[in-house]
Amino acid sequence: MAPTDFCSGVQNDNLIEITVTGRTSGRPISLPIWFALDGNTLYLIPVKGSETEWYKNVLKTPTIQLSAHGKTLTTSARLLTNEAQLDQVLERFRDKYGRNVKSYYPKYDVAVEVPLE
């Protein structure tokens, strides 16, 4: 599937399903998560920051699968820890989910960037 098809399909969604590889089990683990989209880049914020289990899995195996509306895209995630980058990601989430979105993320020390091209 073309990445642009995937982007247009999730443009107005609030949730996307991600699938990561378990760092010890090696099994696929799927869960719904909020995301923000900026052009052909999707951003994710782990709820418990670097202590979030799915984030630890991506840290070991950066391949991530995105699913929505019966469409699936497999790509590589990039981990963000730079404060300026995190501020930009948080602003995208605020634009989408509201100004108080940071209160949903008690430990905001990392984010994940997923290129869709």
Domains and CATH numbers, the chain: 3-115 (2.30.110.10)
Q: According to the model, what pLDDT value does residue 7 have?
A: 72
Average pLDDT for residues 34-47, to the nearest whole number? 93
Sheet-wide strand order for 78-80: 36-38, 41-44, 111-115, 78-80
Average pLDDT for residues 105-116, to the nearest whole number? 93
Distance from C-alpha of 4 to C-alpha of 76, rounded to nearest angstrom: 16
Q: Who wins on pLDDT, 110 or 72?
A: 110
Q: Please determine, for residue 30, whether its predicted confidence score (pLDDT) is greater than 90.
A: yes
Q: According to the model, what pLDDT value does residue 94 have?
A: 94
CA dist 116 → 26, 52, 65 (Å): 24, 23, 11
pLDDT band at residue 3, thresholds of 50, 70 and 90?
low
Q: According to the model, what pLDDT value does residue 1 have?
A: 46
Nearest CA-CA partner of 93 in 101, 83, 85, 104: 101
- C-beta of residue 23 within 8 angstroms of C-beta of residue 61: yes
